[in-house]
């Protein structure tokens, strides 16, 4: 259960930018487009990550642990970008006008989540893939609930948004280190 919750936490924290895009679209009066677009994008991310993760295990099983370099590098890159633009105010997403445009926004913000989940699917024993999937489903449900509650209660609070955006790269780094380590959930 701890493994499932750690996957859920990593998924949610790497998708904080998606949460705030959801929040921004929902507060602009387009809640249905935000919800539908978010769910479509997350289904694509999880399915694509699973297919990629399984494909990698077939093609290069001896090098799976090195996939951790990708989220580790992305986390370091995000920290560097955040420091470089620390004086610039954070950009907010433009409201989406349709399901497709909302889904595209969420997909564009989900590259780090996709890479991390693909690495988890690849690095985890096949028997435990259902736990990785369950963690993703818990995170998606939590993100939808949080986005809806945020849209109703916080409005445009930039401090909360900035905190979670700064936390996300550190989660990527920790996920990368976890994947690089040989753990009990690894493939054999």
Tell me, rounded to whole angstroms, the distance of Cα 101 from its chain centroid: 19
Q: Dihedral of CA 167/81/39/155: which sign?
A: positive
Whole-structure pTM value? 0.67
Cα dihedral 147→34→42→130 (10° resolution): 50
Which residues of the chain carry a pLDDT beneath 50? 90-96, 184-185, 187-188
- C-alpha to C-alpha distance for 184 and 117, rounded to whole angstroms: 17
Q: pLDDT digit string (tens) for 101-132?
A: 778 878 777 888 888 888 888 888 888 889 99
Which candidate, 123, 132, 95, places its Cα nearest to that of 187?
Answer: 123
- C-alpha to C-alpha distance for 119 and 111, rounded to whole angstroms: 12
- C-alpha to C-alpha distance for 177 and 182, rounded to whole angstroms: 10
CA 5-40-172 angle, to 5 degrees, is: 40
């Amino acid at each position: 259960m701890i493994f499932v919750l750690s996957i859920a936490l990593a998924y949610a924290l790497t998708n904080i930018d998606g949460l705030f895009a959801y929040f921004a679209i929902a507060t602009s009066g387009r809640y249905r487009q935000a919800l539908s677009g978010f769910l479509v994008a997350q289904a694509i991310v999880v399915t694509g990550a699973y297919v990629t993760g399984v494909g990698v295990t077939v093609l290069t099983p001896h090098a799976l642990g090195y996939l951790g370099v990708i989220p580790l590098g992305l986390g370091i890159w995000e920290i560097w970008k955040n420091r470089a633009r620390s004086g610039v105010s954070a950009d907010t997403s433009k409201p989406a006008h349709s399901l497709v445009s909302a889904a595209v926004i969420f997909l564009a913000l989900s590259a780090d989540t996709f890479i991390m989940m693909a690495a988890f699917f690849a690095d985890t024993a096949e028997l435990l893939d259902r736990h990785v999937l369950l963690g993703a489903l818990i995170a998606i449900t939590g993100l939808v609930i949080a986005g809806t509650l945020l849209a109703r209660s916080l409005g445009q609070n930039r401090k909360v948004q900035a905190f979670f955006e700064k936390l996300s790269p550190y989660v990527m780094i920790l996920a990368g280190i976890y994947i690089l380590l040989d753990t009990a959930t690894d493939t054999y």
